[in-house]
Structure 1
Amino acid sequence: MQEDVQRVVGGLTTLNKTGDINQEQLDAAERWYRDYVMGVIGARDPERRSSGKAPDLHAAMLSRTSAVGRCRFVRDSLGLCGEIRLKLLLIDELSFSAIAAQLLPGDVNGRKKIAAQMVFLLEQLAEIYARFDKRRAMPTSN
């Protein structure tokens, strides 16, 4: 299982430094990354690991199930193409040029187009997580 899941991705840093994305979008990207790695790939939650407490198998499985649910919610909201782009940027840690070579081969403006797509995608991702959190905070009626 993969253990270290926190890191900085170059493309996100670039978009943040240029002001193309804000802290909310950067946080949403990191949240999706943690959800994907913990839920889909199966790594342990780095925040719980550093607590020094003995792992609780049931709590870990509930956390993983929740992470998978959030990933599914994001995929349902963004679609497969959005999820593929997130994976290329955040999981595979490819540069905009490398993503463009895969998705837009031969396009001389591919890098710029991918960067713009990522900005839009990260804006949507931040809104999706905000909507998810709002839905979760709503009281349920019996």
Structure 2
Amino acid sequence: MQKVATKPRYIIPHAQDNGPTPERAAKSVFTRGKPPRVLTTVQSLLNAGDITQDDANAGERWYRDYTFAYEGIIEFPENHVSDTTVKHDDLSWNMTRAVALERILDVRDALGERANQILRLMLVDELSFRQLGEMFFPRVSSGSAHRKISAQCAMLLGQLNEFYRLLRCKNKKTCTPSEVSVYV
């Protein structure tokens, strides 16, 4: 019997550390954990106790709607079970994106254009409080601007949470609707 020569098997190397590169780590502050994530303004407010987890979840919901509406990207949680009964074609996919955009526009109409701008800069562009303070309060000292924009962001996330709560109540028709107060 003659032995058959085989090619050596190529083993794909796996990265041991999926953390940020040194260049990326120099640009942002990262949380501890696996994997490390950028320490966002929402996480900073949550760690400081300025907002509740529900407020942070409202910000996450707004961000997911925004990325889906404008970029067509959906990120599912780790324990997500996909619905196999619905298969999207191009038209239904774009209609679903339009519904997400409608929710974004409803938030803008309820909370105002400045609130929408702060949400976009805070959640989508991931600007820090320092950068937001310099943008919205250019004539004020950086420490004072940081405190002012931090308070506005905390209040805005609370209002966003209340808006989504009222929207859920309206859809269920089990709650007595009340107006959302806007102070931004």
Larger Cα-atom Rg: 2
TM range (shorter): 0.7 to 0.9
Q: Provide, for residues 13-70 of structure 1, a one-character-per-residue CA deviation record: whole Å limited to 9, x for no partner.
A: 111011101110010000000011111x132222299849696124422321221111
2:76 partner SS: helix
Structure 1 position 18 matched with structure 2 position 48:
yes
Aligned-residue offset at 1:9:
5.0
The structure showing larger relative contact order (alpha-carbon pairs under 8 Å, at least 6 residues apart) is 1
Matched AA of 1:132? L
1:112 partner SS: helix
Aligned-pair identity (%):
33
1:106 partner SS: coil
Q: TM-score, normalised by structure 1?
A: 0.82
Structure with greater helix share of residues:
1
Structure 1 position 45 matched with structure 2 position 74:
yes
Match of 2:150 in 1: 115
Q: TM-score, normalised by structure 2?
A: 0.65
Whole-angstrom distance in 2 between the partners of 1:132 and 1:8: 30
Whole-angstrom distance in 1 between the partners of 2:168 and 2:83: 28
Root-mean-square deviation (Å): 2.5
Aligned-residue offset at 1:120:
0.5
Q: Structure 2: which 5+ residue stretches go unaligned?
A: 1-36, 175-184
Q: Structure 1: which 5+ residue stretches go unaligned?
A: 1-6
Match of 2:14 in 1: none
